[in-house]
Structure formats: C-alpha cells, structure tokens
Amino acid sequence: EVQLLESGGGLVQPGGSLRLSCAASGFTFSSYAMSWVRQAPGKGLEWVSAISGSGGSTYYADSVKGRFTISRDNSKNTLYLQMNSLRAEDTAVYYCAKDQALVVSPAGGMDVWGQGTTVTVSS
C-alpha cells in the first residue's frame, strides 16, 4: 500500500524556519516526482513546490520562491521542504503528494496524498 507520512510541522515565529519531512513507502520512491501542496485554514488547495524523481529538477510557486527549498533523499525514501523567512500567510496544512510520473509534467498529476502536517506562523 502506498503511504506518505508528513512530519515537522509546528508553531514558529514570523521570520523563522522549519523543515518538513515526508516519509514514503509502498512504491519505488525514486521513480516518481513529488509535490508539496498547502491548504490555509478554511481555504482551498495551493500547489507549493515539486521535484523530479531524480531530484534534478525543482519547481516553486511564486509565493514561496526564494524562501522554500524542496529536496529528496531517495536512499531514505524521504521528501523534504525547507521553509525559511516564514510569514503569517504561510500558515497552513502542508500535504506531500506523489506524482504519477518520473518527471514533473502535464501528464503526471498528484495521485496519492499524505495526511498533512500543520504549520502555524505566529508571534
């Protein structure tokens, strides 16, 4: 069974940093691109970042570019999101999601989602 388990969320002050992790199991992790998607309280889904299966290609939403870094360790079957210079508007549940393809492409799309980890940015 394909499973994704996020961790690392919590309360952080504005300007602070946090690193999210997503442990994957039940599939060949390195064969699939991965994404982070967030959902602010009471709001809709917002795609944040994606990374190819090899880790060689990364993509970011304009709202997080320059502040967030996506990475992966295929030897540990784990996806990461390093979040720096956090703002109140980054408060959300962060989901990791498996793509249907090796590369980030229109023919891929997110097919399996984790349960999410909550990030709260507040003083």
Partner 1 sequence: QSVLTQPPSASGTPGQRVTISCSGSSSNIGSNYVYWYQQLPGTAPKLLIYRNNQRPSGVPDRFSGSKSGTSASLAISGLRSEDEADYYCAAWDDSLSGPWVFGGGTKLTVL
Span interacting with partner 1, options 13-21, 69-77, 80-88, 108-116, rule CB under 8 A: 108-116
The rounded distance, in Å, linking the Cα atoms of 103 and 121 is 32
Give the contact letters, 53-92, x = binds to partner 1 (CB under 8 A), - = no. Answer: ------xxxx--x---------------------------
- Report the site for partner 1 in 4-33 (rule: CB under 8 A): none
CB contact burial 48-67 (16+ within 10 A = b; e otherwise): bbbbbbebeeeebeeebeee
The rounded distance, in Å, linking the Cα atoms of 77 and 75 is 6
Element (H, E) at 71: strand 68-73
Span interacting with partner 1, options 11-19, 22-30, 46-54, 78-86, rule CB under 8 A: 46-54
Q: Enumerate binding residues for partner 1 (CB under 8 A).
A: 35, 37, 44-47, 49-50, 59-62, 65, 95, 100, 104-107, 109-116
